[in-house]
């Protein structure tokens, strides 16, 4: 049984990952306490990643986390010229700085155990670029760069580092992003080769594979699960 930290576990993809990995010792974080409690974690930390990272860092210390799932993320749909410094800061902090900081905090224990898994939930927008989601795309592309470098650095320590890039997933974030855009749900579906949204459980199954012994050779990779979106139209 591993000690797993999952950020953004209260709903959507993070909740599915927590349910899929419920046979492990789960350490969960998000802002919604009730939603975390019902997942029966070993422990949980209520924290707003936008302004309260010390609470989470202190929570993680001493938990001997050997699997880190950096899942929590936010999205913003805006013209480049309308972005404020605060909006840019918030997204970069939540989507990129905190995943890197948590990897830094969790790595010493993984090195000691000569085994570990770091999985970042990126986005296909970080692979292809998404118009009107430039900061979001930049943060997710940043995760891919971090993954390659950290994967290389930690390869000799039995630690793998990978990023999963979902396409449209049927969650609050996915559906709200479409709502904010100029496209209807039906128009968005027509841009997806499989004409369907990825389900959170599909992402959770990929996470389950990546933490397994069978996946020990997969590191530094960025893996798309996007119903064909990245291939072309």
Ligand X SMILES: NC(=O)c1ccc[n+]([C@@H]2O[C@H](COP(=O)([O-])OP(=O)(O)OC[C@H]3O[C@@H](n4cnc5c(N)ncnc54)[C@H](OP(=O)(O)O)[C@@H]3O)[C@@H](O)[C@H]2O)c1
Residues that bind ligand X (CB under 6 A): 8-14, 30-32, 35, 48-50, 71-74, 94, 121, 123, 166, 168-169, 171-174
- 8 vs 220 by CB, closer to ligand X: 8
Query: Residue 176 contacts by C-beta under 8 Å, 6 or more apart in sequence?
Result: 75
Q: How far is the CB of 205 from ligand X (least distance, A)?
A: 15
Q: How far is the CB of 13 from ligand X (least distance, A)?
A: 4
Catalytic residue among 44, 77, 136, 209: 136
- 106 vs 164 by CB, closer to ligand X: 164
Check if the beta carbon of residue 4 is closer than 8 Å to that of residue 27.
yes
- 25 vs 165 by CB, closer to ligand X: 165
Report d(CA 202, CA 225) in Å as an integer.
8
- 35 vs 83 by CB, closer to ligand X: 35
Report d(CA 219, CA 148) in Å as an integer.
8
Check if the beta carbon of residue 92 is closer than 8 Å to that of residue 76.
no
Q: How far is the CB of 148 from ligand X (least distance, A)?
A: 19
Active site residue 75: no
Query: Residue 87 contacts by C-beta under 8 Å, 6 or more apart in sequence?
Result: 76, 78, 135
Angle in degrees, CA 63, 146, 25, rounded to 5: 20
Q: How far is the CB of 136 from ligand X (least distance, A)?
A: 7
Strands of the sheet with 67-70, listed across from one edge: 43-46, 25-30, 3-7, 67-70, 116-121, 159-166, 222-225
Q: Annotated active-site positions, please?
A: 136
């Amino acid at each position: 049984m591993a000690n797993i930290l999952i950020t953004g576990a209260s709903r959507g993809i993070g909740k599915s990952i927590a349910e899929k990995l419920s046979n492990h010792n789960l350490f969960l974080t998000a802002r919604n306490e009730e939603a975390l409690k019902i997942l029966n974690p070993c422990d949980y930390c209520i924290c707003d990643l936008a302004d309260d990272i010390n609470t989470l860092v202190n929570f993680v210390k001493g938990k001997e986390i050997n699997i880190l799932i950096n899942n929590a993320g936010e999205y913003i749909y805006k013209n480049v010229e309308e972005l404020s410094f605060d909006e840019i800061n918030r997204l970069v902090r939540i989507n990129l700085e905190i995943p890197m900081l948590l990897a830094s905090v969790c790595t010493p224990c993984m090195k000691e155990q000569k085994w570990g898994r770091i999985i970042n939930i990126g986005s296909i927008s970080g692979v292809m670029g998404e118009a009107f989601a430039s900061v979001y795309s930049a943060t997710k592309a940043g995760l891919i760069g971090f993954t390659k470098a950290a994967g290389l650095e930690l390869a000799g320590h039995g630690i793998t580092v990978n990023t999963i890039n979902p396409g449209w997933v049927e969650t609050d974030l996915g559906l709200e992003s479409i709502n904010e855009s100029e496209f209807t749900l039906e128009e968005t579906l027509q841009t997806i080769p499989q004409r369907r949204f990825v389900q959170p459980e599909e992402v959770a199954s990929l996470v389950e594979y990546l933490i397994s012994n069978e996946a020990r050779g997969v590191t530094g990779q960025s893996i798309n699960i996007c119903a064909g979106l990245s291939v072309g139209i």
